[in-house]
Amino acid sequence: MAVDKKKFREMFPHLAQELEAGDCRLTITSVRSDLQTGEKASSRKFANYMPDVIDFLRRCDTEQQAEEIICYLEGRGEISQDYARRLRKQLKEKGVRSFGSKKEDDYYLKQDGF
């Protein structure tokens, strides 16, 4: 289906703006010719995963470490004051393991099968 630029801009104004600005570029840094290697790399369980406050709390050994994590993320604005208050309450009442079992070193690599 052929669509001229004017019609495309009318139909998809935001997409056209993004394409014309040229800010959304993706660089390909590698090519895999071996199918098994490529499949293993592309099917990673935690690809593009961003840990949240609970992931960080699960790495703590003590309540003091957990409190430091909460304060730090709250200070950076990554969690709200209300959420920080609820986390502190849970920490005080139920302890650091109430957020889940401890995540050891290389947790994500081990979970991904490496």
Angle, CA 69 vertex, CA 65 and CA 75 arms, to 5°: 140
DSSP symbols for 16-27: HHHHHHT-----
DSSP class of 50: -
CA 112/CA 114 separation, integer angstroms = 6
Structure tokens that stand for 17 in this block = 């703006």
This prediction's pTM? 0.54
* Alpha carbon distance 84, 32 (integer Å): 44
Question: pLDDT, tens digit, for every residue of 19-78?
Answer: 888 776 666 555 555 666 655 555 555 556 677 898 889 889 999 999 999 999 999 999
What is the tens place of the pLDDT at every residue in 76-103?
Answer: 999 999 999 999 999 999 999 998 888 7
- Cα–Cα distance between 63 and 12 in angstroms, integer? 51
Among residues 9, 101, 86, 103, the alpha carbon closest in space to that of 51 is found at 103
